[in-house]
Structure 1
Amino acid sequence: MVDCVIRDWQGAEAGTASLELRIAKEESAAHVVHRALVRQMNNARQGTASAKTRAEVRGGGRKPWRQKGTGRARAGSNRSPLWRGGGVIFGPKPRDYSVKMNRKERRLALRTAFQSRVDDLVVVADFAEQFSRPKTKELLGAMSRWGVEPGEKVLLIVSDRDQNVYLSARNVSKLRMLSAHNLNIFDILAADKLVVTASAIEKIQEVYGD
């Protein structure tokens, strides 16, 4: 179990929150998390890259010059891979990069990755009511009070997306906002700091705490 200090809108301590997730064993944790990360990145690939072989490139029906007597190297087609404008040897073709992984293993990897970031975790009280309208400056000021340094990549995790909070956060280049039920391995590992609301911690515990 991990106990985290909850900070209010002004950055002062306002209670504690506990997080208890079943994670992978120490000897296999890195392997499980790595597999889940590779799976997510591979599944995001479109796999539509395609290059034409010498059989698919237009032209090349006529032998460029006679076989002997010219002093030049013999050539059978101007669509040869050796020629400019020719085909591509072993070029990419459309393919499926997706990797399968059991649901239980994916959830185990997610829990393990999240719990591994407890040292970079900042738990804050729900602050949606602080925004009567979108205001990026107010959100940046609050993050500074919570201990987020300028230039750090931040993952903001909320229980439910509030429109004013979303509009305030979307214009910050290194801030990514996710709902608690949309967590993923890549964003958890890529962020320098994880700012999580108290209600989001409860939802994470409820959804992933099996």
Structure 2
Amino acid sequence: MKVAVLDINGKDTGRKAELSKDVFAIEPNDHAVYLDVKQYLANQRQGTHKAKERGDISGSTRKIKKQKGTGTARAGSIKSGVFRGGGRMFGPRPRNYGFKLNKNVKRLARKSALSIKANDKSIVVMEDFNFEAPKTKNFLNVLKALEVENKKSLIVLGGTNNNVYLSSRNFKGSEVVTASELSTYKIMNANKVILIESALEGIESNLSK
């Protein structure tokens, strides 16, 4: 599977990049994608929610009224959740929402996500570039050249590049990651996935195992 390589100005360089069929052209597994995205979102939850239950409330422990003869329900504590100011019944408690997912399933999910994007022609391959210093305007010019300034985009670098990363931080719709940080959620969340040439080898070696 060959894709044209673009330069920093969005022009065709005349070269072609070979995308592995084992990574970018498999039969997508929708359920694997769903599970990996679900795990990613679950891991973003802090799980620090806590409501006061009757054991956490300060109040008298005396019996409110006699057990029988009142014609109403039994009541043994003012801290009960049925009374105003009492504890909450079955309130939220701190918990970890994360769950385990098999490595092979996660790998299949990422390959499926890339294959979906490739099938939709939403993958762009771009030659390596760098900025002399972090500058938002330079990054905006790159997005304009690729016609993605008003779309959600994901730029995948071959390795750490602080100048490019820092230049991108003011754009909410665009994210810069390295090949090792690539996730199914980030792939599916982007309208365009821009792969830098140096990232292709890392992506294919990580996902072809």
Aligned-residue offset at 1:85:
2.6
- Cα-to-partner distance string for 1:48-78 (whole Å, 9 max, x where unaligned): 3222221222214234567799999875433
2:182 alignment counterpart: 183
Structure 1 residues 56-65 or 7-16, which shifts more? 56-65
2:16 alignment counterpart: 16
1:52 alignment counterpart: 52
Q: TM-score, normalised by structure 1?
A: 0.85
Residues of 2 paired with 1:5 and 1:84: CA distance?
68
Residues of 1 paired with 2:99 and 2:74: CA distance?
46
1:85 alignment counterpart: 85
Residues of 2 paired with 1:138 and 1:107: CA distance?
34
Matched, 1:127 2:129: yes
Q: Which runs of 5+ in 1 are unaligned?
A: none
1:208 alignment counterpart: 207
Aligned-residue offset at 1:25:
6.8
Residues of 2 paired with 1:61 and 1:48: CA distance?
29
2:6 alignment counterpart: 7
Tell me the secondary structure at the aligned position of residue 187 of structure 2: helix
Residues of 1 paired with 2:201 and 2:57: CA distance?
58
Q: Which amino acid aligns with 1:19?
A: L
Q: Which runs of 5+ in 2 are unaligned?
A: none
Q: Which amino acid aligns with 2:108?
A: L
Instruction: Please say if residues 22 and 108 of structure 1, whose CA atoms lie closer than 8 Å, have aligned partners that are also in contact.
Output: no
Matched, 1:155 2:157: no
Tell me the secondary structure at the aligned position of residue 55 of structure 1: helix
Q: How many residues align?
A: 205
Residues of 2 paired with 1:146 and 1:189: CA distance?
19
Aligned-residue offset at 1:181:
0.9
> What is the percent sequence identity of the aligned residues?
37
2:138 alignment counterpart: 138
Structure 1 residues 73-82 or 29-38, which shifts more? 73-82
Relative to 1, partners in 2 of residues 1:121 and 1:75: Cα closer, same or farther, differing over 3 Å?
A: same
Residues of 2 paired with 1:67 and 1:207: CA distance?
69
Instruction: Please say if residues 120 and 193 of structure 1, whose CA atoms lie closer than 8 Å, have aligned partners that are also in contact.
Output: yes
Instruction: Please say if residues 57 and 86 of structure 2, whose CA atoms lie closer than 8 Å, have aligned partners that are also in contact.
Output: yes
Q: Which amino acid aligns with 1:127?
A: F
Alignment of 1:54-133 (within 5 A): 54-63=54-63, 75-118=75-118, 119-128=121-130, 131-133=131-133
